[in-house]
A and B are shown apart, each in its own frame.
Chain A
Amino acid sequence: MSAPNDDNASAHSQLSSHFFAGLLDSIIVDVASECHRIARLGLDRNLEEEEEELRLSAQARVTVSDPSNSGEANNKHVVDIFGQTHPAIANEIFECMNCGQSIMAGRFAPHLEKCMGKGRKARLKSTRSSKAVQNRYSQGSPISTYSPYSNSNNMYRIANGTSGPTGEEYADGTLEEK
């Protein structure tokens, strides 16, 4: 095969450029034709609105990140729009609907978790003994698909049976004992 000389090479690359240009033109017209149709048929998106939203968001980000803006006060000593202040931990007191104890709002969830025998620790324990418990407590339960610790009738029975339960004992001890 003869070595390609410069003339051949430039003709070669000229030809490839030519075809490439042709392909590129074809693609450009393709896209233009598609967009033309979309625009003419009224199918295009409202770009002005979209850009306005983008602009407002960009502006907002700049404003918010500006340290001179007070922004939102994240501390819990702020006065709300009704003129009220609230402690960091909610201090409303009410009765637990499961055991009747008086609980502070901010500590209600952890209390209830233990009280109802739910939560990770309680769950692990009860799944181990669940089969046995199910046999004992599932009579009379109208919905058989419910696992025992979620059947309220049984729970009330358990809760009333023990004297002044602390959460732990109730979850760990009493279920197994009976």
Chain B
Amino acid sequence: MSGRNPTYTNPKPCKHLADYKLKHGLDGYNSLQKSLKTTPNGRTAMNRDQSKIPRCSFCSGYEGRLYFCLICSSVSCFSSLELNHAFLHSQSVKGHEIAVDMERAELFCCVCCDQVYDPDFDKAVMCKQIMEMPCNNNVVDVSIESSNKRRKVAPKKTALDLKNSRDLVMRLRRESNSCFLWGLRGLNNLGSTCFMNSVLQALLHAPPLRNYFLTEQHSRESCRKSSFDGLCLRCEIATLFSAFFSGDRAPYSPARFLYSWWKHSADLASYEQQDAHEFFISLLDRIHERGEQARPSNKDNGDCHCITHRVFSGVLRSDVTCTTCGFTSTTYDPCVDISLDLDPRNGCAMEVADGFIKQSETKDMSTLVGCLDLFTRPEKLGSDQKLYCQHCQVRRDSLKQMSIRRLPLVLCFHIKRFEHSPIRKMSRKINRYLQFPFTLDMTPYLSSSIVRNRFGNRIFAFESDEADISTEFDVFAVVTHSGKLESGHYVTYLRLKNQWYKCDDAWITQVSEGVVRASQGYLIYYVQKILYHKASEDMLAQPISPHRDSFLSTSVCC
């Protein structure tokens, strides 16, 4: 039942554990179950006898670490290497080598003097835990059920047919006389439109989006007929793509695009510096809306099949746990980006003197990983935010924890640098440097990892492990903001074939990797290292994961 767990490495048992298993099988584990007790925050301990403190059978002591023998149920203690009664027990009675750490319900080998692991033991612990938990089953999914769910998710990906688009795009590239830095082109500033230019540059170089538009999956001919006012925002974007990948090098004026966008977003249409993130969200929204006229689709939970959702949409999971009884209520919400609060710097609050960063201070800065840790950390909801617990039937103190249920193909991180204080009626910008990696592994932030961690990282099928989506991402675009809140400037750094280019409106220049690393990221775009292709006919096929360069820059000229 607890099938394959691709994310665990199954640890090899020590000789003593292996012998124990051969001789006693699951007997010890099963009879242990009645003595296990779980606290609301997911920690399991042995709670054998409520009326007595467990004492060591050798010294009657109750201090140090207590170990419960799986064979004879005697308790022995470990205070130090000299006072190791657990070891004594294993020596005094033959074969009594495996015990359980009473405080943590972990297997312990008294001879190796080390913690050991057995999937069967973890399963026994988890089964007890599940039974005891206040009745909700959405936290722990049965593995069979979850693998079925996973299969249903698969077919959607076929529309971004990797192989076909690759071929078509290669042809387009050859046809556009210039292969050199294909797709790189400046954007004229039409009057405080750098916020728009910066986001457009990032989108124009998002691999799945680029493939989609260049292979004309949004057909401009058939579209013009169907849209009511002859202005389809997707057509405008398709126009942008073909202009950018045409080989023409003169900076492009996205005037028609601006006109089209303003027509569709009355509220945001004004000549003034705007927020790039707001533009990004509004644009995705508009493209999504427009698409629905042609193809009505299910809006819920990221099942929408419009191009923007196929590329950017992920699913976030929110768990709210009652701290009294442990009852957890889970909700899922789709998202097209992840907004992160800057994590506070560790260590001293001193500002680092210009340019001289000592070794010990490299950790004293905000990092993207730190922001993600903050995002997924269990947060104690204030006493004024007591939520109604269905199990306790009253309002209780709760813990809230976010995690990522499903990762998108392109991950956009929005760093919340603009703080708006309604009390002081002031807004300010946080200029603090944020370190971000060029390669990012999102595994620790997945719901499967977060939930598993909450239950002590037991070897058990917790969530449908998203084996068909890679968790490794590569950065490809960074939108930076420099200057003050009211009068700043947006610039985008793009990564093409491992070389970085600065896109400052009409000016495209080459920059070193270091410049990008040291820049003040505001919107950071990552794309999946490996893009999967799944045959729609064969639902049971294993995912083919060719180690392709997602930047489509391999076997072509230059």
Q: Which residues of A contact B (CB under 8 A)?
A: 22, 25-26, 29-30, 33-34, 36-38, 40-43, 45-46, 49-50, 53-66, 71-73, 76, 78, 80-82, 84, 86, 89-90, 92, 94, 96-98, 105-110, 112-113, 116, 118-120, 123, 142-143, 146-147, 149-150, 152-153
A118 touches B270 (CB 8 A): yes
* Chain A residues near B509 (CB-CB < 8 A): 72-73, 78, 80-81
Residue of B nearest to A66 (CB): B355
Taking CB atoms and an 8 Å cut-off, the chain B residues in 304-356 that contact chain A are: 354-356
* Chain B residues near A38 (CB-CB < 8 A): 457
Report the Cα distance A106→B191, complex, angstroms. Answer: 5
CB distance from A104 to the nearest CB of B (A): 10
Which of B7, B357, B439 meets A43, CB within 8 Å? B7
* Chain B residues near A142 (CB-CB < 8 A): 228
CB distance from B275 to the nearest CB of A (A): 16
Query: B256 interface residue, CB < 8 Å from A?
Result: yes
Most buried by B among A46, A60, A94: A60
Given known contacts A54-B367, A57-B518, A97-B259, A116 and B435 CB-to-CB distance under 8 angstroms: no
* Chain A residues near B508 (CB-CB < 8 A): 80-82
Which of A29, A57, A105, A146 meets B435, CB within 8 Å? A57
Taking CB atoms and an 8 Å cut-off, the chain B residues in 354-376 that contact chain A are: 354-357, 362-363, 367, 369
* Chain A residues near B272 (CB-CB < 8 A): 119-120
Which of A36, A42, A62, A64 meets B515, CB within 8 Å? A64
Q: Which residues of B contact A (CB under 8 A)?
A: 7-9, 11, 63-65, 101, 103-104, 106, 115, 117, 181, 184, 186, 188-193, 228-229, 231, 249-251, 253, 255-256, 258-259, 262-264, 266, 269-272, 354-357, 362-363, 367, 369, 433, 435-439, 441, 443-444, 449, 452, 456-457, 459, 501-502, 505-511, 513-518
A97 touches B256 (CB 8 A): yes
A-B pairs, top 10 by smallest CB distance, nearest first, are A109-B191, A60-B514, A42-B9, A90-B188, A60-B517, A65-B355, A53-B437, A118-B269, A113-B271, A64-B518
Name 12 A/B residue pairs within 8 A (Cβ), A-sorted: A34-B456, A37-B117, A37-B456, A41-B457, A54-B367, A61-B355, A94-B255, A97-B259, A109-B271, A119-B270, A119-B272, A149-B266
A45 touches B441 (CB 8 A): yes
Report the Cα distance A153→B229, complex, angstroms. Answer: 8
CB distance from B356 to the nearest CB of A (A): 8
Report the Cα distance A23→B515, complex, angstroms. Answer: 48
CB distance from B542 to the nearest CB of A (A): 21
* Chain A residues near B11 (CB-CB < 8 A): 40-41
CB distance from A138 to the nearest CB of B (A): 15
* Chain A residues near B253 (CB-CB < 8 A): 90, 92, 94, 105, 108
* Chain A residues near B438 (CB-CB < 8 A): 53
* Chain B residues near A43 (CB-CB < 8 A): 7-8, 449, 452, 457
A110 touches B104 (CB 8 A): no
B363 touches A37 (CB 8 A): no
* Chain B residues near A30 (CB-CB < 8 A): 103-104
Most buried by A among B65, B435, B436, B502: B435
Residue of B nearest to A25 (CB): B64
